[in-house]
Structure 1
Amino acid sequence: MNRINKLFKDKGKDILSVYFTAGFPKLEDTIPIAEELQEVGADMLEIGIPFSDPIADGPTIQASNNQALKNGMTLTKLFEQLQVLRTTVNIPVILMGYINPILQYGIEDFCKACDQAGVDGLILPDLPMIEYQTKYKALFEQHGLRNVFLISPQTSENRIREIDQQSDAFIYMVSTAGTTGAKDKFSDEAVAYFARINSLKLKNPRLIGFGISNNITFEQACKSASGAIIGSAFIKAVSDSIDLKTDINDFVKSIKNNVQLTVNR
């Protein structure tokens, strides 16, 4: 069973998925961050592939992408790092990125490299569904990769049901219109959107992302879905860190256990 499917089958709720950018803050931090996140209780990892124009991401993640590229991160370098991933990391791992650098790398080579590294799924926000269905679905499935689609408050019910039909992992619920970024709490409109999606009785579980930054928003997301994806708030927590291990531990505790966050800088 794919690790993502197994996570939702075995745990099913209060799932914490953490996004971080490969090669950030420093080029060789990718695996140490993954190991530490697993150690302190993250349930799933979303590793961002740095790109010069990450259109779905807000300023915090954009800045981390730019720094990672300056550090020398490339897809080739990332797959070199991921060769040792499964010697220490057992939780599900998803790569998040944009289709352009993947096409430049070569889609078949990319899928093979993901398979060899033990990657479980992909989030490609700018990959059209029709392209996925007609060109890539069989290839992804051949290499055990679950493709994760995003929905937003503006997504029509017909589109949501089509995504639900084409999905075999979970659906990424974007909490609000716009780009990624931390928020202190969800608006009434967002809460109503969560309730509307729950009423559709979809077959796939959902994780809520965009705006998860603290214990309050994490718990709100867990009440309305199977859990949450945190990105910008985590990137901020490690961006100037001088002690990654301690800062990652403090951050995850602040999210899951409602303790005050102290960052070592």
Structure 2
Amino acid sequence: MNRISDLFQRKKNNILNVYCTAGYPQLNSTLPVMKALQDSGVDMIELGMPYSDPLADGPVIQASSSKALANGMTIATLFEQLRGFRQQIHVPVILMGYMNPVLQYGFEKFCQHAADVPVDGLILPDLPEYEYENEYGAIIQRYGLKFIFLVTPETSEERIRRLDSLSTGFLYAVSSSSTTGKDKDMHAVNSYLQRLQDLQLKNPVLVGFGIKDKATFRQACEHANGAIIGTAFIKALENTPDVEGATKKFITDIKN
């Protein structure tokens, strides 16, 4: 069974998914950060593949991408780093990135290498559903990878149901239509998540964008299966010589 499916079967609520940028803060930080996240008790890791023009990312994650690219991170380098990583990382891992570098790498080759290492799923925010259905979805499925679509408060009920039917891991509920890292009106977010809950969707729902601490994590989990934290964690890694210590402190503060 896919690790994502297994996770949601074992644990229905309070699932903590943390985003980190591959190759940040140092080129060789990828695995130490992932190991520290796992050891600190996160349920899932969303591993960002740095890109020069990340549409959905706010300034903090953009800056981490720029630093990772300057460090020399590429998709090929990332797959080298991930070779054999399952000997120490057992939680589900999702690669998050954008179509341009994936297409340059070669879409099928990318899926094959992702499955080989192996990761469990993909988030590609700029892959349209039409192209997913008619071209890329079959390739993703051929290699046993889950695919996660994003919905926002502005997404119509009809489209939410459509994207829910296409998603195979979980549904990523973006808390607002802005970029990552901005403070959100959690009351408005709660009513949006309640609306998703009332739709009785096929997939579990994880909420992201603006989840930054214990309080916002708990609020997000009231009407969703869990939450995704990115910007706040990347900030915690800035200018620290002790990546493992900073990671442990950050996750402990959220979970305890």
Instruction: Please give the TM-score of this superposition, normalised by the length of structure 2.
Output: 0.98
Give the equivalent residue in structure 1 for 2:136.
136
* Aligned partner of residue 91 in structure 1, secondary structure: coil
Letter of the 2:16 partner, please give it. L
1:34-88 Cα distance to aligned partner (Å, 9 max, x none): 1111011000000000000001000000000000000000001000001021110
Residue 163 of structure 2 aligns to a residue whose secondary structure is helix
Shift of 1:187: 3.2
- Aligned residue in 1 for 2:62: 62
Q: Which runs of 5+ in 1 are unaligned?
A: 258-265
| Alignment-mate amino acid for residue 233 of structure 1 | A
Shift of 1:244: 1.0
Give 1:39's aligned amino acid: D
How many Å separate the matches in 1 of 2:182 and 2:227? 13
- CA contact 1:152–1:173 (8 Å) conserved in 2: yes
Whether the aligned pair in 1 keeps the contact of 2:186 and 2:216 (CA below 8 Å) is: no
RMSD: 0.9
Separation (CA, whole Å) in 2 of partners of 1:187 and 1:84:
40
Q: Which residue of 1 is the match for residue 33 of structure 2?
A: 33
DSSP-derived class of the 1:191 partner? helix
Partner of 1:261: none
TM-score, normalised on structure 1?
A: 0.95
- Equivalent residue for 2:180? 180
Cα distance between partner residues in 2 of 1:39 and 1:140:
29
Structure 2 unaligned residues grouped into runs of 5+ = none
Alpha-carbon distance in 2 for matches of 1:91, 1:214 = 21
Any residues of structure 2 matched to 1:248-263 within 5 Å, and which?
248-257=247-256
Matches within 5 A, 1:89-104: 89-104=89-104
For 1:173, what is the secondary structure of its paired residue? strand
Determine the structure 2 residue equivalent to 1:118.
Answer: 118
Q: Would you say how many aligned residue pairs link Structure 1 and Structure 2?
A: 256
- Native 8 Å contact 1:153 1:176 kept in 2: yes
Aligned with 2:25: secondary structure? coil
Q: 1:149 aligns to what?
A: 149
Contact (CA 8 Å) 2:58, 2:182: kept in 1 or not? no
Aligned partners of 1:61, 1:77: CA distance in 2, in Å?
Answer: 19
Pairwise CA distance, 1:182: 5.0
Percentage of pairs with the same residue: 52
3-state SS of 1:158 partner: helix
The amino acid across from 1:125 in the alignment is: P
- 2: CA distance between counterparts of 1:164 and 1:151? 9
The amino acid across from 1:120 in the alignment is: D
Could you list the runs of 4 or more consecutive aligned residues of structure 1 that deviate by over 4 angstroms after TM superposition? none
**2 CA distance for matches of 1:186 and 1:10?**
31
Aligned to 1:235: 234
Residues 182 and 212 in structure 1, CA contact (< 8 A), matched pair in contact too? no
Aligned to 1:222: 221
Q: Which moved more, 1:97-106 or 1:235-244?
A: 235-244
Distance 1:182 1:240, change over 3 A: farther
Q: Please name the residue that 1:106 is paired with.
A: 106
Q: Which amino acid aligns with 2:133?
A: Q
Q: Deviations over 1:127-158 (max 9, x none)?
A: 00010111111111111111100000000101
State the Cα distance separating 1:189 from its structure 2 match.
1.7
> In the aligned structure 2, how far is the partner of 1:248 from the partner of 1:189?
30
